[in-house]
Amino acid sequence: MAHPGIRDYSNQEIVLRYIHYKLSQKGYDWVASGDRENVSSAAGTFPALAGLVSLPSELPGSAAVSNLAATELHPVPQVVHSTLCQAGDEFSRRYRRDFAQMSGQLHLTPVTARSHFMAVVEELFRDGVNWGRIVAFFEFGGMLCVESVSREMSPLVDSIAEWMTEYMNRHLHDWIQDNGGWINNQEHYSSN
């Protein structure tokens, strides 16, 4: 849904850059699935992602935002990424023990990963959406990616990125737009 004065950004770009940030904090270098040629073609679309990821030609879960022409998506400003990363880091510091316990309880495997991801995310948003829960969503996805790589299940990172993007497109996109978009609400998701 178009909102006057609110720019629409690629949820996929936001997800991929956040995951890359979380993995790089732990010293992991991640290139999304796809051949190396896609990386250079993706660089033309999202220059800040050059050499980091290759972008699929179609956004997962894009049916939910299919009324949005691709030309209406704007590159995500660096301030959105840096603010989201700062908010995620603060969230991680506050809830480090909870995340450690959750990590141990999930028993992450390639077979159970999606069902565990969906169960946690559905519980997270059970009582509605707010900026703090969106930050928690990103931090949870980032934690799952780090766990996947540290447990030698790095192919799961691409799947988690896809699930996050799909969930954003289907369940969070309209709420974000209805609540002022990413830029207009930086103070909300950086303080919740």
Is the pTM for the entire model greater than 0.85?
no
Q: What is the dihedral of CA 188, 190, 191, 192, to 10 degrees?
A: 80
Question: CA–CA separation, 112 vs 92, rounded Å?
Answer: 24
CA neighbor of 186 nearest in space, from 87, 90, 93: 87
pLDDT of res. 64 = 39
CA 57/CA 42 separation, integer angstroms: 9
**Mind listing the pLDDT tens digit for each residue in 66-102?**
344 443 667 888 999 999 999 999 999 999 988 888 8
Q: Kindly give the parts of the chain with pLDDT less than 70.
A: 1-7, 33-73, 184-192
> How high does pLDDT run on average in the chain?
79
